[in-house]
């Protein structure tokens, strides 16, 4: 069916089309190229047209992270718009995070006006010459699924629908569209478009039945199969068939650097977060949506162990090099593949072997959980505060209506997450600064939930905190931020220790370029944005301090930040 809308420009037609395609939010860090967009928004507001809702964002890092957080909770891509190539450069780290995390979004950027005179939108500022690039899309091309420049208003529907369909098609990810000012400013009185769209994303695919049957035979005959996963829970509906597969085999599931709730942490077959100690005894390893299931230079499965890889793209074909074995590849929508595999395994597995394995792994699950709890009790009095104790206190606070966003420092052994879609970790790309904005985006997507964001002090700096706290205040999005303040970039220090364990840096206890001292009073940054802020140094005070911050978020509807002074690495 065709729909017609009265508009004034291509920019207004663009906003009309985004609203029609279900885009709720337009996260924008504006520049001079936005003039037609701003005018179009003003006209639509005067006519009572509210969508897509414009969200002003003072930094591109925050803008992309907001869209990332919203999409990871809802699965729906939103629009980010930044200022020409300089804004794109600032957004690039976030785009890389979205690419490696398979998070869909439409990243758009103005394009320096093409013409020097003679058209609405032609160049009229000194920056319009220096900011032009020969190929603006080249700066992001390696990390987006598609990029293009809108060249004519007549192209609008095809270009936007193609962009959104590609972003949503699995493996999902960001796309990039540049918008020249002259094209946005082009006069347009009526806009006609299809409703619903005639370009849609590809449907769900499932692995070939023969490959599923082969994998089922291998697993049914296995003596000691294990499963390693990282991001299966990106689709919350994949968790249930994963549990079914594990139970059908009595097979343990390991979360390796998990970015989602892939498997309930309190399930008796959840075997923790480090498969390395168990790789040597495994005769079959199932790798489920995990780009790095082990470190070959440190330890790997036995050469004769069979490896079954399951995922939208089991080969991770966008990675330049990745040499993990793939004896059986099961591409397609993981939840469908897992369901088919679980059904096939049930028909072939030996019940006594399954029961024996399950008994063994249930005992191991219990042993691990008791050891983790004992560790938290042992470090509870430590001052400065031990991160395990801080993590345990957060774990005690996080109920089933809580979303946890973790940029590195939250210890997963000290927090039990059960519900799919209740935990989100950093992208495999590990571009620092994701957590703050992603947490605010998650709150925007799920306003009824409590959102707790855990970040290190180094990640906090990268997250453009003044920008993020401002957006949280301006949009009324209270999040509880917890800064694990250890005064250093611990990842860098650990890398040096592994590289040269007996070297000068270790022997002299000197680690140049790793210290973040003297530290800022991070809590004051949150207070400057109208939030609640507190510095915590006493481990005994930690539960009460978290309670005070949570009351500020839940009852006062204010963002809150705890600056927790942790042990130095």
Contacts of 399 (CB under 8 A, 6+ apart): 450
Q: What's the confidence (pLDDT) of residue 202?
A: 80
Cα–Cα separations (whole angstroms), residue 346 to 189, 223, 245, 310, 336: 62, 16, 8, 18, 16
Handedness of CA 276, 410, 27, 137 (dihedral sign): negative
Contacts of 9 (CB under 8 A, 6+ apart): 36, 39, 40, 184, 185, 186, 187, 188
Q: What's the confidence (pLDDT) of residue 427?
A: 97
Handedness of CA 474, 479, 485, 489 (dihedral sign): negative
Distance CA 244, CA 50 (A): 44
Q: Which residues make beta-bridge pairs with 193?
A: 3
| pLDDT tens digit sequence for 175-212 | 999 999 999 999 999 999 999 999 988 878 889 999 99
Domains of the chain: 2-194 (3.40.50.970), 209-366 (3.40.50.1220), 380-565 (3.40.50.970)
User: Does residue 267 carry a pLDDT above 90?
Assistant: yes
Least confident of 19-28, 72-81, 497-506: 497-506
Average pLDDT score, the chain: 96
Q: What's the confidence (pLDDT) of residue 383?
A: 96
pLDDT band at 74 (very low <50, low <70, confident <90, very high): very high
Q: How would you class 118 by CB atoms within 10 Å of its CB: exposed for 0-12, middle for 13-18, buried for 19 or more?
A: exposed
Sheet holding 423-425, edge to edge: 423-425, 402-407, 450-456, 480-485, 560-565, 532-536
| pLDDT tens digit sequence for 276-333 | 999 999 999 999 999 999 999 989 999 999 999 999 999 999 999 999 999 999 999 9
Say what percent of the chain tops pLDDT 70: 100
Least confident of 192-201, 281-290, 415-424, 450-459: 192-201
pLDDT band at 492 (very low <50, low <70, confident <90, very high): confident
Find the mean pLDDT for residues 466-484.
98
Contacts of 285 (CB under 8 A, 6+ apart): 225, 226, 227, 228, 279, 293, 301, 305, 306, 307, 308
| Segment 348-353 long-range contacts (CB within 8 Å, at least 24 positions apart) | 348/216, 348/217, 348/220, 349/219, 349/220, 349/248, 349/249, 350/220, 353/223, 353/250
Find the mean pLDDT for residues 422-442.
97
Give 232 or 297, the one with higher predicted confidence. 232
Q: What residue has token string 């001292």? A: 517
Find the mean pLDDT for residues 502-517.
88
Find the mean pLDDT for residues 32-49.
95
Residue 525 contacts residue 558 (beta carbons within 8 Å): no
Q: What's the confidence (pLDDT) of residue 511?
A: 87
Q: Which residues make beta-bridge pairs with 485?
A: 565
Say what percent of the chain tops pLDDT 90: 92
Q: What's the confidence (pLDDT) of residue 490?
A: 83
DSSP code of 3? Answer: E
Find the mean pLDDT for residues 236-254.
98
Distance CA 383, CA 393 (A): 15
Cα–Cα separations (whole angstroms), residue 215 to 87, 286, 341, 370, 545: 47, 9, 8, 34, 50
Residue 324 contacts residue 311 (beta carbons within 8 Å): no
SS (H, E, C) 220-247: HCCCCEEEEECCHHHCHHHHHHHHHHHH
Cα–Cα separations (whole angstroms), residue 181 to 19, 99, 149, 187: 21, 27, 11, 12
Distance CA 215, CA 228 (A): 15
Distance CA 14, CA 193 (A): 11
Q: What's the confidence (pLDDT) of residue 514?
A: 87
Helical (H) or strand (E) element with 456 = strand 450-456
| pLDDT tens digit sequence for 102-132 | 999 999 999 999 999 999 999 999 999 999 9
Handedness of CA 119, 121, 123, 128 (dihedral sign): negative
Q: What's the confidence (pLDDT) of residue 489?
A: 80
User: Does residue 349 carry a pLDDT above 90?
Assistant: yes
Q: What's the confidence (pLDDT) of residue 505?
A: 85
| pLDDT tens digit sequence for 535-545 | 999 999 999 99
Q: What's the confidence (pLDDT) of residue 491?
A: 85
User: Does residue 494 carry a pLDDT above 90?
Assistant: no
């Amino acid at each position: 069916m065709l729909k017609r809308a009265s508009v004034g420009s291509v920019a207004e037609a663009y906003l009309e089309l985004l609203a029609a395609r279900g885009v709720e939010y337009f996260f924008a860090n504006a520049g001079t190229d936005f003039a037609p967009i701003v005018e179009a928004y003003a006209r639509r507001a005067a006519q009572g047209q509210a969508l897509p809702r414009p969200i002003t964002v003072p930094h591109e890092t925050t803008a992309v992270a907001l869209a990332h957080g919203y999409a990871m909770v809802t699965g729906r891509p939103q629009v980010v718009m930044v200022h020409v190539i300089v804004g794109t450069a600032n957004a690039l780290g976030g785009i890389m995070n979205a690419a490696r995390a398979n998070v869909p979004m439409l990243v758009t950027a103005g394009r320096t006006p093409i013409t020097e005179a003679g058209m609405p939108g032609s160049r009229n500022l000194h920056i319009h010459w220096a900011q032009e690039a020969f190929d603006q899309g080249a700066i992001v091309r390696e990390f987006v699924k598609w990029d293009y420049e809108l060249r004519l208003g007549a192209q609008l529907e095809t270009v936007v629908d193609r962009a959104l369909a590609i972003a949503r098609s699995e493996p999902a990810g960001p796309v990039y569209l540049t918008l020249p000012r002259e094209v946005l400013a082009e006069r347009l009185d009526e806009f006609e478009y299809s409703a619903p769209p005639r370009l849609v994303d590809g449907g769900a695919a499932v692995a070939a039945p023969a490959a599923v049957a082969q994998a089922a035979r291998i697993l049914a005959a296995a003596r000691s199969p294990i499963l390693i996963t990282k991001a299966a829970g990106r689709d919350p509906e994949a968790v249930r068939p994963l549990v079914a597969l594990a139970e059908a085999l009595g097979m343990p599931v390991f979360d390796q650097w998990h970015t989602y709730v892939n498997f309930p942490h309190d399930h008796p077959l959840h075997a923790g977060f480090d498969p390395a100690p168990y790789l040597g005894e495994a005769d079959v390893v199932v790798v489920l949506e995990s780009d790095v299931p082990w470190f070959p230079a440190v330890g790997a499965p036995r050469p004769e162990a069979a490896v079954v890889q399951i995922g939208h793209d089991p080969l991770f074909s966008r990675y330049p090099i990745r040499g993990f074995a793939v004896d059986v590849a099961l591409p397609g929508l993981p939840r469908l593949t897992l369901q088919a595999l679980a059904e096939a395994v049930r028909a072939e597995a030996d019940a006594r072997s399954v029961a024996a394995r399950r008994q063994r792994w249930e005992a191991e699950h219990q042993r691990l959980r008791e050891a983790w709890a004992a560790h938290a009790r042992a470090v509870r009095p430590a001052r400065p505060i031990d991160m395990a104790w801080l993590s345990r206190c957060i774990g005690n606070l996080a109920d089933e209506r809580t979303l946890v966003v973790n940029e590195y420092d939250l210890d997963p052994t000290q927090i039990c997450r059960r519900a799919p879609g209740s935990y989100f970790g950093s992208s495999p790309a590990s571009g620092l600064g994701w957590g703050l904005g992603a947490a605010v985006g998650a709150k925007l997507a799920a306003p009824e939930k409590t959102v707790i964001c855990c970040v290190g002090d180094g990640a906090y700096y990268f997250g453009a905190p003044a920008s993020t706290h401002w957006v949280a205040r301006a949009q009324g999005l209270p999040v509880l931020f917890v800064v694990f303040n250890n005064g250093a970039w611990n990842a860098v220090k650990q890398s040096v220790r592994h590289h040269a364990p007996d070297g000068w840096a270790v022997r002299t206890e000197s680690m140049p370029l790793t210290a973040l001292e003297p530290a800022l009073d991070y809590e004051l940054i949150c207070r400057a944005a109208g939030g609640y802020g507190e510095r915590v140094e006493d481990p005994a005070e930690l539960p009460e301090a978290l309670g005070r911050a949570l009351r500020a978020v839940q009852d006062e509807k204010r963002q809150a930040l705890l600056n927790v002074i942790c042990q130095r690495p």
